Amino acid sequence: MAHSFKVYVALSASLLLRALATSVTDGWTSVGCYTDSRDSRTLRTASFTSVDDMTVSDCISFCATGNYKYAGLEFGRECYCDNNIHTPAAPANVADCNMTCTGDQTSTCGGVDRISIVTASRTPLGCYTDSRDSRTLRTASFTSVDDMTIQSCIDFCAVGNYQYAGLEFGRECYCDNIIQTPAVQVNLGQCNMTCTGDGTTFCGAADRISISTLSWTTLGCYTDSRDSRTLRTASFTSVEDMTIQSCLDFCTAGQYQFAGLEFGRECYCDNTIRTPATSTDIEDCNVPCTGDSDAFCGGVDRISIATFTSSLT
């Protein structure tokens, strides 16, 4: 899987997190439910309130127009935007973000002093031509006549560390690290066959393949402790050879949502960011990786966390 990495954290750009009770608008990935307060807003650069008509999509559209990285919904009616999740915000139980949106009773928009946060993810690569004689993605594949879903294809390709996942003819999944020629992009509406395992989503079409990129998105630096691990389901330590990539590969193989690096040598995986972890300054995650001194792998009681994303919708 190809990744680009920044200096402080691992980590580049929807296995969609399900911190919102309903699906997140295309191109945005849920980060989770966080604490918030009037005195110290978790997202604070821009905001608006809609007593009667707030929806998830309206908030996302508002923040997207301002080119903000994060959008957050709170108290059923409030929308906030920012490019940072500000301290002392901390991850909260997803059940705390349980207030219905004032403009859509089928969706939830945060809670009391609880904000549901989503982040802008990559735009889907789109719909491409394909043929049996010259596959657009060709390194690995599987077919499911009755049960194909976007998620099952993403999981299959992610475990193989492929950069691209593609769905075709409602039932076929393909993986590769290259979009092969002579494929060309076509109108997204041509990928209009429903998935055999989920009639509400599309999985390509005849000779048309919906392609997604698979990658990791950094969430930032968080507090951690031996007594209460922020990520705790799986882990490994490498005293001499820890790298960002080795940790991401380990967590990807286990199909975990989150990967975290700590103390230069420790890797942790989980599907939940556990309380009482709180977001902290990125510069706290400043210990070089034991296997790559040019990159940082968390800090002392500080964990650099990333979430797995795909751009497929």
**Residues of 226-251 as b/e, b for ≥16 C-beta within 10 angstroms?**
eeebbbebebeebeeebbbbbbbbbb
The DSSP line for 255-309 is: T-SEEEEETTTEEEEESS--TT--EE-GGG--PEETTEEEEE--BTTEEEEEEEE
Torsion of CA 84, 87, 91, 97, to 10 degrees: -80
Cα distance between residue 224 and residue 267, in whole Å = 12
Domain boundaries, the chain: 28-120, 126-213, 215-310
Percentage of residues in the chain with pLDDT exceeding 90? 52
Q: Give me the mean pLDDT over the 172-178 stretch.
A: 93
Torsional sign, CA 121, 122, 126, 128: negative
For position 121, what pLDDT does the model report?
Answer: 53
3-state helix, strand, coil in the chain (%, to 5): 10, 35, 50
Q: Do residues 5 and 304 touch, judged by C-beta distance below 8 A?
A: no
Alpha helices in 69-140 (DSSP H): none
What is the average per-residue pLDDT within 42-50?
Answer: 93
Cα separation, 68 vs 65, in Å, equals 8
End-to-end CA distance of the chain: 19
117 contacts 32 by C-beta, under 8 angstroms:
yes
**Residue 13: its pLDDT value, please?**
24
Q: What is the 3-state secondary structure (H, E, C) of 184-226?
A: CEECHHHCCCEECCEEEEECCECCEEEEEEEEEEEEEEEECCC
What is the pLDDT averaged over residues 180-199? Answer: 90
Position of tokens 């990744």?
3
Task: Kindly indicate the confidence band of residue 313, based on its pLDDT and cuts at 50, 70 and 90.
Answer: very low
> What's the average model confidence in pLDDT over 68-86?
90
| Mean predicted confidence (pLDDT) in 43-53 | 93
- The per-residue pLDDT for 21 is 29
Tens-digit pLDDT profile for residues 275-308: 888 888 888 999 999 998 888 999 999 999 988 8
- pLDDT for position 310: 66
pLDDT (0 to 100) of residue 279: 85
Structure tokens that stand for 73 in this block: 């919904």
Q: Which of 4-8, 167-171, 193-197 has the lowest mean pLDDT?
A: 4-8
Taken in order 190, 313, 197, 185, the sign of the CA dihedral is positive
